[in-house]
Amino acid sequence: MRSFEVPPFYRSPLISAIKQQRKAADKLKKDFTPTVLDLGPLQIYLARHFGFCYGVENAIEIAFRTLEQHPNNRIFLLSEMIHNPLVNADLTSRGIRFLQDTKGKQLIPFETLRADDIVLIPAFGTTLEIESRLRAIGIQLESYNTTCPFVEKVWNRSESIAQKQYTIIIHGKPSHEETRATFSHAAVHGPALVIKDRSQAERLARYIRMEASQSEFEQEFENQYSAGFQIERDLKRIGVVNQTTMLASDTQGIADYLKEEVRKQYSDPDAIADTRDTLCYATSDNQSAVLGMLETPADLALVVGGYNSSNTSHLFELCAEKLPTYYIDGPDRIESRHRVHHFDFFEGVEKITEPFLSEKRPLRILITSGASCPDALVERILEKLAGFFDSSLPYDQWA
């Protein structure tokens, strides 16, 4: 897999060395045990996989290269490049402006754009409708499209199975940029429907079994289905793809559940398309690494990433099931060893917890980060934690 020219201020010499050593010792990525940083009174366990993925590094490289090569052009981002406040703040500080927010609300009217403007498409991709609007202005998109190749893989797979008369079921968050983009690309080829979770999958099964009406479906799944969707016609053959940042196990569970429901109703062995190859490798690796890390007895976990990052929120959910977990977006959220500002994902609000670090010795902390979080942020958090214990990070161990 190719390497990218990511600005050095996002890198961490310590974490890069750790990752390289782990990769050399485990080329097939079968070892999901965490890396131990033993600081005496503090023991830190770093997840086997975390931080920038292929798609994120690709997007950052394109964005910074565009800034360097076009100093005299107006440069816009369609929406957040990735869901990380540090990276997005860096880009806006260099003059890039956002056209929309993450929900698709217009911040700068497209009508104010000129043909010589540059518009960067974020790693999540965008809808065919928005692409068409920008091209109509004369804006060239190809060189500035940072859509993740693994997102495009989902689009291509959706097209392939739609051509075989399968309806595309997208497991994702309906308001998320990636889900909106995937729905747009899928719906142009055939019937498409977004479902949020297992609960919605179970409610969808009522329509597969024809236990509820078309009008009830249209009300329950409002704004989640393609034009002309008919339950009697379009739920006989389905393929389940995902928003690539969802829990892989959830997507697979939903696909398996719906497969059985459709087969029981229609007795068709080919009623479900095989879409297991649409699961993102980085999402899967990071989630598997968290599950491996959670086998280590610990006192608390820190999950680092943007608060609107889907993949990071799922890492938090996995950790929060097992032990006290704090979701933070940077080192400044740790005010002291006694006080931390953190995001309560379940309630959608930021909270303050006191006390933060207990007096237990050694204190064991599990740490991971989302796919859009720079390693440099994680290293600064490690340094802050080490400072509370008058310890230094073991750089020599990984040199």
What would the pLDDT profile of 281-325 be if each residue is shown by its tens digit? 888 899 999 999 999 999 999 999 999 898 999 999 999 999 999
**Mapping DSSP to helix (H, G, I), strand (E, B) and coil, where does residue 77 land?**
strand
Helix/strand/coil (H/E/C) assignment for every residue in 339-369: EEEEEECCCCEEEEECCCCCCCCCEEEEEEE
pLDDT greater than 90 at residue 271: no
* Tens-digit pLDDT profile for residues 346-393: 999 999 999 999 999 999 999 999 999 999 999 999 999 999 998 889
Give the pLDDT of residue 399: 66
In the structure encoding, which two tokens stand for residue 144, read together?
Answer: 């500035």
Give the DSSP H/E element, type plus range, for residue 302. Answer: strand 300-304
Same fold, 8-53+282-398 and 149-278: yes
* Tens-digit pLDDT profile for residues 223-241: 999 999 999 999 999 999 9
Angstrom distances, CA of residue 71 to CA of 8, 80, 110, 369: 21, 20, 21, 33
Where are the chain's structural domains?
8-53+282-398, 55-144, 149-278
**Cα atoms in the Cβ-side hemisphere of radius 13 Å centred on 25:** 11
pLDDT greater than 90 at residue 275: no
Give the pLDDT of residue 221: 96
Give the pLDDT of residue 26: 93
**Mapping DSSP to helix (H, G, I), strand (E, B) and coil, where does residue 167 land?**
strand
What whole-number percentage of the chain has pLDDT above 70? 99
Which of 237, 320, 309 is CA-nearest to residue 273? 237
Domain 8-53+282-398: which CATH number of 3.40.1010.20, 3.90.1150.10, 3.30.420.40, 3.40.50.1220: 3.40.1010.20
Q: How far apart are the first and last CA of the chain?
A: 23
Give the pLDDT of residue 267: 79
**Section 62-83 average pLDDT:** 92
Give the global pTM. 0.90
**Mapping DSSP to helix (H, G, I), strand (E, B) and coil, where does residue 240 land?**
strand
* Tens-digit pLDDT profile for residues 88-141: 899 999 999 999 988 889 999 999 999 999 999 999 999 999 999 999 999 999
Select the highest-mean-pLDDT range: 169-178, 190-199, 261-270.
190-199
* Tens-digit pLDDT profile for residues 2-41: 778 889 999 999 999 999 999 999 998 899 999 999 999 9
CATH for the stretch 149-278: 3.40.1010.20
Give the pLDDT of residue 277: 67
Q: How many residues does the chain have?
A: 399
Give the pLDDT of residue 110: 95
Q: Give 211's contacts (C-beta < 8 A, 6+ positions apart).
A: none
CB atoms near residue 33 (< 10 Å): 15
Q: Give 272's contacts (C-beta < 8 A, 6+ positions apart).
A: 237, 238, 239, 240, 255, 258, 259, 262, 263
Give the pLDDT of residue 384: 96
Tell the CATH topology of 55-144: Rossmann fold (3.40.50)
Give the pLDDT of residue 231: 96
Alpha carbons 225 and 82: distance in angstroms, whole number: 26
pLDDT grade, residue 74 (50/70/90)?
very high
Which positions are annotated as active-site residues?
Answer: 178
Report CA dihedral (88, 89, 95, 98) to the nearest 10 degrees.
50
